[in-house]
Structure 1
Amino acid sequence: MPSRPRVLTIPASRPHLRTLAEAILAGRVIPGWPDAADPLSLAAGTILLPNRRACRTMRDIFAELTPAGAVLLPRITPIGDVDEEEWAFADPMPLDALGLDAIGPPIASLDRRLTLAGLVRRWAESVDRAVMRLRGDDPLVVSTATADALSLAADLMRLMDQVATERVPWTNLDGIVDSGLDEFWQITRAFLTIAREHWPAHLAELGLEEPAIRRDRLIAAEAVRLKASPGPLIAAGSTGSIPATRDLLAMVAHHPLGALVLPGLDTDLDEASWRAIGGAGGGAAHAHPQYGLKRLIDHVGIDRETVESLTPPAAHGREALVSDAMRPAATTDLWAAGRAMQGPEALAELAVIEAANEREEALAVAVVLREVAEDPARDAALVTPDRALAHRVMAELARWNVAVDDSGGQPLSGTPAATVARLAAALALDEPSPSDLLALLAHDAVAGGTAAAERDAAIAAIELKALRGLRPAGGLGGMLAILDTAKASERPRPDDAASRVTEAALVAGRALLSRTIEALTPLSTLPAEAPLATFATAHAEVLHRLGLDPLAIGRDAVVGLLVDVTASDPAAGFAISRRDYPSALDSLMQTETVRRPANPGARIRILGLPEARLLEADCVVLAGLV
């Protein structure tokens, strides 16, 4: 590698992507590229960015900055988005350079979770006996419920991904607690043998790979290919949060025609505080916002002083204020001196809102965003890691018909389609609740094909004639039997709602309840215990019979999940009881995310922290950061 890696930074007060694009076109990122005399020169380069949204924005900025005519853009691609077909033309072959015969396919996420859940259930059944031997007076009981096993499996998957990503050997667990001090830690360590021993053997038998390990191998192979490429090569906006990405970014920095562009490197912090972030004189400040950049610079093998800035910071000096406020705990004694150096201009045009509660917080944010939306020449962004806050803000903005482009999603379990699926499973497999029945019948996602007035009258007839008073025996069939014997009152009274139910409403109510019972039959007729795949197959048929609206939010995701469970080999052997299925389904849906359709024309955006550092807006609202 060359002795002088090229590492640049763009101040946090400057728009990252726009500044980068301007610097590239001016030839300040990689000297001599692009060649102004060669219209094809720009297309020879490759730009690596953290995510697809940043790539789309970068293309738009290039188009805006080159208005003279058509231009061939460089290849702009997300870091880690690897096209394995390009390896066939690489020299050396990336897999040969890494000593790998091939990179196997990843195990499907659902198959992974169900298999781990089965192992967790078997472990939970055995650990009770072990604990009883340890504590005869008050044994610890570990739940063997299917939903709990699925939740534990999801937690175990996250831990396995973290261990694989950080390249930490599982044997490090052996030294965390002395074996003679804590008997319950030994139980936890025994639980983790699922990940340490049983799981690797299972994958080897199937010829599949862990997703995190496969991702790292793909990135490593791509780094080999890019290293042999002629360039130019630019990586920008990433802090190298995972080791595989850090290796790739370091390769780019050392490439003869490469440049690594850092987002908002703190050049104001004193050297002692900078070293303290990395752990000099104490523990590393892992939570410090500059910790990732400090680790990346060290990995590249340079000092902070050698990093060049592509443009000066904004004149207000806000970076220095934030740097001082965020300094590591080891050097907070320097706060007093820092405050004396900072003028009032650093706080110009900043406002702080203290909300009394979550609803007031969301409303205050929404009011600020709405004010910006009223000016067609301005845009705004809410930057928050709190998805619950984002949903509340969007609900407030929806009252004013303000269009929002949300980069995140929402949990599948909270969508209308998931609600219908949950209600249907509860009614078919458990003791039916009148409230669940009414909620399903009145749900907008299953109301198609019937006039609103007729449906409302039918639901009112069911409620007033069959569901008032003691709950009838016989489940939904018992409710239908009561409705069949109900008669319309000959003397309706204003103070008695039931007496105002008409014969036509009773007929419609009987028909609606009969259709619902018939639609639930595939689930309600299943035996007391069956494979999870059998329940999923029947559930998908129930949703079809209920007429779940194809446009309902989450519909495709719910149906897709049921289809995946039906086709899953582990699900075919994953026995589950009728009473466990609704909670197990909910556990599966909680870890799924439904992405909202992109709304690129919206001037109000909701961004997560990683992408916010690359984009720009006239007004930025920071919320939910603590």
Structure 2
Amino acid sequence: MADRARPALFTIPAHRAFADALAAGLIRRFGKDRMALARGLVLLPSNRAQRSVRDAFVRASGGALLLPRLVAIGDPELDEAAGAALDPVDDAEPIPPAVAPIERRMILARLVEEERAKAGQPIDAAEAVRLAGELARTLDQLLVEDVAPTRLRDLAMAEELSSHWQRSLDLFRIVLDRWPEELHRLGRIDLAERRTRLMARLATRWRAAPPAGFVCAAGVTTASPSIARLLRCVAELPQGLVVLPGLGIDMPEAEWQALGPHEPDPVTGRRARSIETHPQFQLKLLLDRMGINRGEVETWREGGGHDAGAIRGRAVANALAPADFTGKWTGLAGADRRLTDVTAVELVTPAEEAQAIALALRQALEEPGKTAALVTPDRALARRVAAHCARWNIAIDDSAGRPLSILPPGTLLIALAEAAAQHFAPVALLALLKHPLVRFGPDRIGWLDGARALDLALRGPRPAPGLDGIDAHLAEGDERTRVVRARAREWWRDARPLLEPIGAVFDDGVQSLGALLAALREASIALCGDALWAGPAGRALAEWFAELEARAALGPPAIAPESLAPLVRTLLDETAVRPPQGGHPRLAIYGLIEARLQTADLMVLGGLNEGIWPGQPAPDPWLAPRIRAELGLPGLDRRVGLAAHDLAEALGAPQVLLTRARRDARSPAIPSRFWLRLEAMAGELVRAPGLEVWARALDDPGEHAPEARPEPVPPPALRPTMISVTEVDRLKADPYAFYARRVLRLMPLDAVDADPSAAWRGTAVHRILEIWTREDDCRVDALRPRALTMMHDARTHPMLRALWWPRLDEAIGWIGQAMAAQADEGRRVLAAELRGKIDLAGVTLNGTADRIDRLGSGGIGIVDYKTGKPPSAAAVRAGFSMQLGLLGLIAERGGFADIVGTAEAFEYWSISKRGGQFGYIATPVDPAGKRDRIPTADFTSIAAHHFTEAARDWLTGTRGFTAKLVPEYAPYAEYDQLMRRDEWYGRER
């Protein structure tokens, strides 16, 4: 081949639209003969760039045009993309096929699990799969950078590492030793190695026999040695061109040389640190590996129609100068720091930022033909903007795609795996049964009705594990829950069979991944039918299932059922689902990779906060940074330089809007280093006029008129005529809460799978003591077995069993001793959990006494069991906590069947701790009224007085039910949201 006198290298400055400029230039050079243009080959970095250049050719041609062949050399299926040009069928020495990514992942996971087990550090299959992904990425970097894995054995510094890195390195070496054997057995090679071989063979073929048409490598910034060699070959072809994006040919030579990479010092052997975070570092490294001097690169002559002008290009280059050269900012002329048509807006929250971006995109549509695009690495921000645009019926999708794990088919799969692994615990079970894909279609309304009935039935502490535990729970219930549980039980008979197969598989314990995946697939189909596979996400899930099940046997031989959900989540997180074509023709949302070579009249660069743009470099769990540097692998900060280059390219649009939020969901956010550099160099970023105000005004309700304290006044006919002694305090302290509960009949629901609350623990203790009293006649030796029976019940919450049993064990011992001592004094138990009622002040007062005793004096003793502290004397004096007095009043007036007498003792038996032991007796009364207590003889009459006043005001009278009337005695908050407490509480009236 006759080499050129010099390689043909060009660059399209960042302030020009790359794809349009490239298309215009190629048409000018080769478009006179349309067949010559069609015989050409254009090598591009990605499929997205391929589509962008194809559209640019259409725009530039103004009509019909035979396009050159566009090949994405970043395509994983590179041989299929380029066809016979790269992999001819008659090749004498064909390159072996590449191992499938999921196949490699499974094999590496098995190797990692085996070697960790041999080292005495066993891990589960989910963690092995995660580490295998990191291992594969590190291995690919070695292959891409032409670093032989065998060099790891020759590292002299390995023993200087910390023990953590030493263990990781040892394991990495072992796995790399075994991996070639696995590849040889399969007859495959790594995908990265195959791509390297294909490009090397292509370069060799082109050097020997140049193509008949032109070859143009455009937009490629990857600096791997194989890419550099191919680009060098293309640049030297008779009709070859290499077009680089945004190379800083005007960058001062001192700054250019400071970037690195540097030659080793002849004395110390050390290399000066390269500035990998600079946007030009990757391009400089590429030129160095190509053996090209920057002075040999020419500027592409053609423009793109979306050009921003060279002035802004110089300003951006100055703003992103290496740190050691930023001192020049103070001496720059105004033109060299002017960011014309670049505006910025800072919002308070990410929600406001998304609102502002959506408004900017919507505003762009008001100008005919104007295009706009959002570029951001923050996928949550991208989704929010798309959702805001939907309010104007604008379909705009994120071209970077969304992880399958957050789309309905993926979330269904994860929910099912978690529910089965948790033995169908209530929260996981209900999340699965209410999933939008379950029973999708005309039957869904009836299905949801049944699921909601099950939700109500499962309120409270967790039932026994498994489907049988749900059955047993639904078969029980008191009067209040019997109707709900009956309805849930009827629906559950049809729903249960759908879950039985996967429940049986998961109950078998550790088994093969294939068996668990098959059970997961069959159960998903049983729940969702064909809806599971519908749409782009469903098709992606079908492909994911097919690939994983086919290669599951190559992975870890056994997996625990509880590891399946995290394993599935890890793999689904890495599966991106990109939207089909058909969104708005003038709007787009791009990730950083997708935005390369794209342009628009308005580019919105969103999420410019540190940790987002640029993102935090992902750590390498296998190789220490020092080892990576010694091997010549890219530093972890190199991605910062790529993000900076993406920013510089996007800043070349005619109009640019920079956005950031001052805080994220948890804390104040730090502006991106790029934002701070632009601001420091320019003096101040020009603020977008009105955008921040519009974003807030769009959802501004106008004047805020806070609600007054509620005080409903229902008519007497709607007021309750029956009240329990336990409700009197609520009536007096927070009448509104009483109104919501008794008049509106709004009963608070327990949480699903709730931890045992104080009320639930109290109910459990009361139940133990009630059965002990009725069936065991208060025998001391029978109390502890009764408590143990409850604790060993499968429905008892594990936390209650582990943490509360020790105190309960001690407390019931005290109860038995205290009752034995009272029996010796002639005191005996008359009844336990006895209900009674009387008519008082025009209403019926009822109550349940925990225990009623006959005293040695012949009087009556009222006992109330408490799992916490008894009410204080101050509360009783204030007219609250009169429960014992009202129960005594009911007893004295014959409200309890077969019990007569005068109430002479009022006792709280608390099993909380005091004086170093669990269990003590407290009383709100004293025979002589000492210690600020109420005289015993007056307690029932005082209780009757307070109750009569309350009944006269709210039950038989017309007084309004004021919210939080006495806040210090209204600690419960079930109805605070209903009363809109935060709007009025604490305000001046």
CA distance in structure 1 between the aligned counterparts of 2:465 and 2:163, rounded to whole angstroms: 49
Q: Does 1:208 align with 2:188?
A: yes
Partner of 1:593: 576
Please list the CA deviations of residues 32-77 of structure 1 after superposition, one character each: whole Å capped at 9, or x if unmatched.
x34x3x4423222112222222222323332333335x43222222
Q: Does 1:190 align with 2:185?
A: no
CA distance in structure 2 between the aligned counterparts of 1:181 and 1:54, rounded to whole angstroms: 42
Alpha-carbon contact 1:5-1:253 (below 8 Å) kept: yes
Partner of 2:335: 342
Alpha-carbon contact 2:110-2:556 (below 8 Å) kept: no
1:270-349 equivalent positions in 2, closer than 5 A: 270-279=252-261, 282-311=272-301, 314-315=308-309, 317-337=311-331, 339-342=332-335, 346-349=338-341
Please list the CA deviations of residues 475-534 of structure 1 after superposition, one character each: whole Å capped at 9, or x if unmatched.
2233234435679x8xxxxxx8x587597x547623453344346456446x21211111
CA distance in structure 1 between the aligned counterparts of 2:309 and 2:574, rounded to whole angstroms: 45
Q: In the alignment, which of 63, 78, 84 is matched to residue 86 of structure 1? A: 84
CA distance in structure 2 between the aligned counterparts of 1:421 and 1:309, rounded to whole angstroms: 52
Note the C-alpha offset of 1:379: 1.9
Alpha-carbon contact 1:11-1:264 (below 8 Å) kept: yes
Letter in 2 for 1:301: G
Partner of 1:429: 421
Please list the CA deviations of residues 420-444 of structure 1 after superposition, one character each: whole Å capped at 9, or x if unmatched.
1122122223332211121112111
Identity %: 35
3-state DSSP class of the match of 2:6? Answer: coil
CA distance in structure 2 between the aligned counterparts of 1:159 and 1:571, rounded to whole angstroms: 21
Note the C-alpha offset of 1:400: 4.1
Note the C-alpha offset of 1:5: 0.7
Alpha-carbon contact 2:372-2:601 (below 8 Å) kept: yes
Cα distance change on mapping 1:182 and 1:71 into 2, 3 Å: closer
Letter in 1 for 2:135: L
CA distance in structure 2 between the aligned counterparts of 1:340 and 1:256, rounded to whole angstroms: 43
Q: In the alignment, which of 390, 407, 423 is matched to residue 399 of structure 2? A: 407
Partner of 1:12: 14
CA distance in structure 1 between the aligned counterparts of 2:139 and 2:484, rounded to whole angstroms: 59
Once structures 1 and 2 are overlaid, which stretch shifts more, 111-120 or 558-567? 558-567
Partner of 1:493: none
3-state DSSP class of the match of 1:393? Answer: helix
Please list the CA deviations of residues 134-154 of structure 1 after superposition, one character each: whole Å capped at 9, or x if unmatched.
xxxxxxxx4512211111111
Please list the CA deviations of residues 271-311 of structure 1 after superposition, one character each: whole Å capped at 9, or x if unmatched.
11111123459422222111122222333333323322123
Partner of 1:242: 224
3-state DSSP class of the match of 1:203? Answer: helix
3-state DSSP class of the match of 1:124? Answer: helix
Q: Does 1:530 align with 2:511?
A: yes
Partner of 2:940: none
CA distance in structure 1 between the aligned counterparts of 2:552 and 2:448, rounded to whole angstroms: 43
Q: Does 1:543 align with 2:524?
A: yes
Cα distance change on mapping 1:95 and 1:52 into 2, 3 Å: same
Cα distance change on mapping 1:242 and 1:439 into 2, 3 Å: same
Note the C-alpha offset of 1:447: 3.1
Alpha-carbon contact 1:448-1:547 (below 8 Å) kept: yes
Note the C-alpha offset of 1:557: 2.9
CA distance in structure 1 between the aligned counterparts of 2:553 and 2:448, rounded to whole angstroms: 43
1:103-114 equivalent positions in 2, closer than 5 A: 103-114=95-106
CA distance in structure 1 between the aligned counterparts of 2:141 and 2:56, rounded to whole angstroms: 35
3-state DSSP class of the match of 1:438? Answer: helix
Partner of 1:158: 137
3-state DSSP class of the match of 1:470? Answer: coil
1:451-530 equivalent positions in 2, closer than 5 A: 451-465=443-457, 467-483=458-474, 501=484, 505-506=487-488, 509-518=491-500, 520-521=502-503, 523-524=505-506, 527-530=508-511
Alpha-carbon contact 1:46-1:76 (below 8 Å) kept: yes
Partner of 1:43: 38
Alpha-carbon contact 2:144-2:193 (below 8 Å) kept: yes
Q: In the alignment, which of 558, 570, 578 is matched to residue 541 of structure 2? A: 558
Letter in 2 for 1:124: R
Partner of 2:26: 24
3-state DSSP class of the match of 2:495? Answer: helix
Partner of 1:175: 155
Q: In the alignment, which of 575, 586, 602 is matched to residue 619 of structure 1? A: 602
Q: Does 1:366 align with 2:366?
A: no
Q: What is the CA RMSD across the aligned residues, in angstroms?
A: 3.0
Please list the CA deviations of residues 567-589 of structure 1 after superposition, one character each: whole Å capped at 9, or x if unmatched.
22634762112222222222222
Letter in 2 for 1:440: L
Please list the CA deviations of residues 123-174 of structure 1 after superposition, one character each: whole Å capped at 9, or x if unmatched.
222333xxxxxxxxxxxxx451221111111111110011111112334444
Alpha-carbon contact 2:87-2:94 (below 8 Å) kept: no
3-state DSSP class of the match of 2:79? Answer: coil
1:221-232 equivalent positions in 2, closer than 5 A: 221-227=201-207, 228=209, 229-232=211-214
Normalized against structure 2, the TM-score is what? Answer: 0.55
Note the C-alpha offset of 1:376: 5.1
Normalized against structure 1, the TM-score is what? Answer: 0.85
Alpha-carbon contact 2:107-2:555 (below 8 Å) kept: no
3-state DSSP class of the match of 2:402? Answer: strand
Partner of 2:5: 3
Alpha-carbon contact 1:263-1:613 (below 8 Å) kept: no
> Unaligned regions of 5+ residues in structure 1, if any?
28-32, 129-141, 490-495
3-state DSSP class of the match of 2:423? Answer: coil
CA distance in structure 1 between the aligned counterparts of 2:501 and 2:161, rounded to whole angstroms: 57
Cα distance change on mapping 1:255 and 1:574 into 2, 3 Å: same
Please list the CA deviations of residues 291-344 of structure 1 after superposition, one character each: whole Å capped at 9, or x if unmatched.
12222233333332332212377446011111111112333333323x335357
Partner of 2:127: 148
Partner of 2:240: 258
1:36-75 equivalent positions in 2, closer than 5 A: 36=32, 38-67=33-62, 70-75=64-69
Choose 1 or 2 for highest CA Rg. Answer: 2
Cα distance change on mapping 1:447 and 1:576 into 2, 3 Å: same
CA distance in structure 2 between the aligned counterparts of 1:411 and 1:88, rounded to whole angstroms: 32
Alpha-carbon contact 2:4-2:236 (below 8 Å) kept: yes
Note the C-alpha offset of 1:590: 2.5
Alpha-carbon contact 1:416-1:553 (below 8 Å) kept: no
Letter in 1 for 2:42: I
3-state DSSP class of the match of 2:559? Answer: strand
Partner of 2:881: none
Cα distance change on mapping 1:67 and 1:318 into 2, 3 Å: closer
3-state DSSP class of the match of 2:244? Answer: strand
Q: How many residues align?
A: 586
3-state DSSP class of the match of 1:331? Answer: helix
CA distance in structure 1 between the aligned counterparts of 2:283 and 2:90, rounded to whole angstroms: 28
CA distance in structure 1 between the aligned counterparts of 2:333 and 2:111, rounded to whole angstroms: 60
3-state DSSP class of the match of 1:596? Answer: coil
Note the C-alpha offset of 1:619: 0.8
Partner of 2:109: 117
Alpha-carbon contact 2:355-2:388 (below 8 Å) kept: yes
Note the C-alpha offset of 1:258: 0.9
CA distance in structure 1 between the aligned counterparts of 2:595 and 2:148, rounded to whole angstroms: 34
